[in-house]
């Protein structure tokens, strides 16, 4: 006696049923193939890239400005000058939100006569969870980097006063957060690393040129800021010729 069970072949259904993502199409495909197709994977977020001159020429929605940051020149093109007193940008959004792994890049020039402590990039909240890029400027007019993260009760600063650099020239900075592994780079050279329990930031705002609560103003210039959703190696950094 012949069996009435026939092996079903995927793709034997009419394309008019399969080509639409309807419940009927999914059910029919399940009958033909013996399983329901997996949903499409969620695409990775796109990098966020800010060339700061654009903030003056075509301000994005949600941007506010303190005082009058001015245009200046850089080897990479027009940049924005901050006076160390009251120049800054504020955005209502936080592009680091939801990212467990990211690379933050900045092309900037710190002034030799700036304040001793400066916060030039701040994501998150003023006193809660946050990511900060900072400089310390010595009496001799040299600077060193401080990158800071606060997540829950844990925080970590990557800072070493011995890692000094001449001021009044352009640099590329990178801060990499890779699921709690922190690294910072100056001109593609690794300076410091550490680990911290880390989950993505949720909510908050962004400030450029000062801390979110308007203290520790930055004196110098910034050409661009780029946030990539991944832990980049130095050869993948977006580094202009400086």
Residues 34 and 59 in one domain: no
Q: Tens digit of pLDDT for each residue in 56-66?
A: 999 999 999 99
Q: Helix, strand, coil shares of the chain as percentages rounded to 5?
A: 10, 40, 50
14-23, 102-111, 175-184 — which is least confidently predicted? 14-23
Residues 64 and 93 in one domain: yes
Residues 146 and 36 in one domain: no
Q: Tens digit of pLDDT for each residue in 201-233?
A: 999 999 999 999 999 999 999 999 999 999 999
CA distance 142 to 127: 28
Q: Give domain status of residue 185, yes or no.
A: yes
Residues 99 and 6 in one domain: no
Total domains, the chain = 2
CA distance 235 to 229: 16
CA distance 26 to 226: 40
CA distance 190 to 119: 21
Question: Which pLDDT belongs to residue 7?
Answer: 42
Burial zone of 126 (CB within 10 Å; 0-12 exposed, 13-18 middle, 19+ buried):
middle
Q: Give domain status of residue 241, yes or no.
A: no
* Residue 4 confidence (pLDDT) above 90: no
Q: Which is higher by pLDDT, 94 or 4?
A: 94
Provide the residue range defining the domain that includes 9: 1-40
Residues 213 and 95 in one domain: yes
143 neighbors 165 (Cβ within 8 angstroms): yes
Question: How is residue 195 written in tokens?
Answer: 């680990």
Average pLDDT over residues 175-179: 97
Q: How confident is the model at residue 45 (pLDDT cuts 50, 70, 90)?
A: confident
The helix or strand, by DSSP H or E, that contains position 120, with its residue range, turns out to be strand 117-124
Percent of the chain with pLDDT over 90: 81
Whole-model pTM over 0.75: yes
């Amino acid at each position: 006696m012949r069996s009435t069970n026939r092996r079903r072949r995927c793709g034997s259904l009419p394309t008019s049923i399969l080509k639409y993502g309807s419940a009927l199409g999914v059910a029919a495909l399940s009958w033909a193939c013996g399983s329901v197709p997996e949903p499409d994977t969620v695409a990775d977020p796109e990098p966020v890239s800010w060339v700061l001159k654009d903030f003056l020429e075509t301000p994005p929605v949600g941007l506010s400005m303190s005082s009058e940051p001015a245009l200046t020149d850089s080897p990479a093109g027009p940049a924005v000058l901050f006076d160390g007193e009251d120049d800054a940008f504020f955005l209502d959004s936080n592009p680091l939100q939801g990212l467990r792994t990211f690379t933050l890049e900045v092309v900037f020039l710190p002034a030799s006569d700036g304040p001793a402590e400066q916060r030039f990039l701040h994501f998150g909240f003023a006193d809660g969870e946050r990511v900060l890029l900072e400089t310390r400027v010595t009496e001799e007019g040299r600077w060193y980097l401080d990158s800071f993260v606060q997540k829950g009760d844990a925080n970590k600063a990557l800072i070493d006063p011995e890692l000094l650099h001449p001021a009044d020239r352009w640099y590329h900075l990178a801060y990499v957060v890779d699921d709690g592994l922190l690294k910072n780079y100056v001109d593609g050279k690794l300076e410091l690393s550490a680990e911290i329990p880390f989950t993505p930031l949720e909510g908050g705002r962004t400030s450029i040129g000062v801390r979110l609560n308007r203290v520790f103003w930055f004196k110098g210039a910034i050409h661009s800021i780029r946030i990539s959703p991944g832990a980049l190696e130095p050869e993948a950094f977006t580094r202009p010729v400086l």
